[in-house]
Amino acid sequence: MIIMVLNSGSSSVKYQLFNIDKEEVLAKGIVERIGLDGSRLKHITERKDLFIEREINDHDEAVELILKVLVDEDYGVINDIKEIKAVGHRVVHGGEYFTESSLITEEVMKRLEECIPLAPLHNPANIMGIKAMSKILPEIPQVAVFDTSFHQTIPNYAFLYALPYELYEKQKIRRYGFHGTSHRYVSKRAAQLVKMDYNKVKIISAHLGNGASITAISGGKSMDTSMGYTPLEGLVMGTRSGDLDPAIPVALLREKKMSATSIDNLLNKKSGVLGISGISSDMRDLEKAALNGEKRAELALTIYAYRLKKYIGAYLAVLGGADIIVFTGGIGENSSFIREKALEGLDFFGIILDKEKNKKAKKKEVDISDKDSKVRILVVPTNEELVIARDTREIIEREVK
Ligand code: ADP
């Protein structure tokens, strides 16, 4: 069965075309700079890659172009667009409505629109992708896979903030959590790799990319996660601050007369390891700079790893210990330095890293725990698109007659 996966952003659309029976990617690519100068499409297949630069004004044109390329005589991977049986969309926010992936209906579209205030940058783009698809292929079944839905099992004592309760009731201010598709995939895969029953194990899963979050999972259910009402809370990230005293933005507003927009920008775009180091948001640059003796790069790495360790400790307490710790995302999959530093001194909890295995672990599934470690420590590259394609198939097989 051929399934298309779309991840629509405000000015980009990423796609992957799967033969889901073989779990094989037939083609993937991205349309970038939609509605801007220099809009372009990059299309990658086993055989040939294609790069087109031309005017692409909106998401409708982007999707149209992608579909055209997929059946192109030279660069295409299918003969007829009708071979695509369904489309799975990454949707950032499902609010409290969606506890799992869902077939897109008119009712679901209404709910997605209702979630816009919770994700004002992301949900409108996701909706544009869905609408573009249904304009061009009105009959095709579409499925929404949410970043938030995996975390809907978090109990209320962990998702509520200690704020006046009406803010939750009226404005839905609470912890939602993100990266759910990734946490779900890597935690399940980790349990499989060490041959443990996913429905019984306790797992701490750390997704460390440009954005970063960590999740406590028990019996396959998310029990707590570090991102909150927005992706700003929790771990130190590339450019986001993560946790901080909520009085700080108020002080910036009052004392420094900063506007809400500039504070938002400061916390989301200028903070994190970029803010601390003053050098870069990219972990590779910072590791290099630290090796060259740049003190603030070293400090940024130390703070990053310290916050991560603090959350691992918190989630060990939440879960009453852990069977598995799993790392993923660009940093989790590649940075042996961060993994080692975050797990340093946790022997007391039965967490012992095999430093040699850790050093060699890059972008592949591997157990990096010492033979004496009670907790299995794993690296599992994430694959959100595959989860979206799998969910899409499962849902249309069940719900579309
Ligand atoms: P996104 O969240 O945008 O998907 P990624 O998951 O690709 O991001 O992660 C990007 C981060 O991964 C960057 O900080 C990058 O420096 C880091 N990274 C990628 N490769 C390496 C590496 N070999 N060593 C250390 N960090 C790496």
- Residue-wise pLDDT for 367-380, tens only, equals 999 999 999 999 99
Ligand 1 atom nearest 362 alpha carbon: 23
Residues lining ligand 1, judged by CB closer than 6 Å?
A: 209-211, 238, 282-284, 287, 329-331, 334-335
Going from the C-alpha of 325 to that of each of 195, 339, 381, 393, the distances in angstroms are: 14, 11, 13, 29
> What Å distances lie between residue 140 and 81, 83, 130, 385, CA to CA?
10, 11, 11, 19
Looking at residue 48, what is its pLDDT? 86
Structure tokens at 226: 């570090």
Domains of the chain plus CATH, in order, are 2-146 (3.30.420.40), 195-384 (3.30.420.40)
Distance 81 CA to ligand 1 centre (A): 35
Mutation pick for ligand 1 pocket among 274, 334, 359 (CB with most ligand atoms within 8 Å) = 334
From 207, 287, 308, 335, the mutation candidate for ligand 1 (largest count of ligand atoms within 8 A of CB) is: 335
| Non-local CB neighbours of 79 within 8 Å, separated by 6+ positions | 71
Using CB atoms within 10 A of its CB, is residue 386 exposed (0-12), middle (13-18) or buried (19+)?
middle
> What is the residue with the minimal CA distance to atom 19 of ligand 1?
330
Q: How far is the CA of 275 from the centre of ligand 1 (A)?
A: 17
Are 145 and 184 contacting, i.e. CB atoms less than 8 angstroms apart?
Answer: no
CA 153 to chain centre: 18
Q: What is the DSSP string of 22-84?
A: TTEEEEEEEEESTTSTT-EEEEEESS-EEEEE----SHHHHHHHHHHHHT-TTT-S-S-GGGE
Q: Determine the pLDDT at residue 386.
A: 98
pLDDT confidence of residue 324: 98
Closest CA to 76 of 62, 90, 65: 65
Res 390: pLDDT: 98
Structure confidence at residue 319 (pLDDT): 98
What residues in the chain have per-residue pLDDT under 70?
none
Using CA atoms, how far apart are residues 343 and 338, in angstroms rounded to an integer? 9
Q: What is the pLDDT of residue 26?
A: 97
SS3 state of residue 101: coil
Q: Point out the catalytic residue in the list 37, 72, 74, 147.
A: 147
Residues facing residue 7 across a β-bridge: 14
**Chain centre to alpha carbon of residue 393:** 21
Sequence-distant (6+) residues with CB within 8 A of 91 are: 112, 123, 126, 144, 145, 146, 147
**How remote is the CA of residue 364 from the centroid of ligand 1, in Å?**
14
In the prediction, which pLDDT does 47 show? 87
Measuring CA to CA, which residue among 24, 130, 86 is closest to residue 397?
86
For ligand 1, mutation pick of 269, 281, 284 (most atoms within 8 Å of CB): 284
Determine the distance separating the centroid of ligand 1 and the alpha carbon of 329, expressed in angstroms.
7
Q: Closest ligand 1 atom, CA of 337?
A: 25
Q: Whose CA is nearest to atom 22 of ligand 1?
A: 334
Rounded distance between C-alpha atoms, residue 64 and residue 53, angstroms: 15
Which residues, at least 6 apart from 254, have a Cβ–Cβ distance to it below 8 Å? Answer: none
User: Could you confirm whether 285 is annotated as catalytic?
Assistant: no
Q: What is the pLDDT of residue 121?
A: 87
The span from the CA of 17 to the CA of 70, in Å, is 9
Atom of ligand 1 nearest to the CA of 329: 6
CA distance 258 to 396: 49
pLDDT at residue 339 in the model: 98
* Of the candidates 189, 238, 209, the residue with the CA atom closest to the CA atom of residue 378: 189
Q: Which two tokens stand for residue 76?
A: 């295409």
- Write out pLDDT tens, residues 237-296: 999 999 999 999 999 999 999 999 999 999 999 999 999 999 999 999 999 999 999 999
- Distance (Å) from CA 272 to ligand 1 centroid: 14
Residue minimizing CA distance to atom 23 of ligand 1: 334
> How far apart are the CA of 338 and the centre of ligand 1, in A?
12
Q: What is the pLDDT of residue 50?
A: 96
Instruction: Count CB-CB contacts under 10 A for residue 143.
Output: 27
Structure tokens at 294: 């740049």
Q: What is the pLDDT of residue 190?
A: 98
Atom nearest to 285 CA in ligand 1: 16
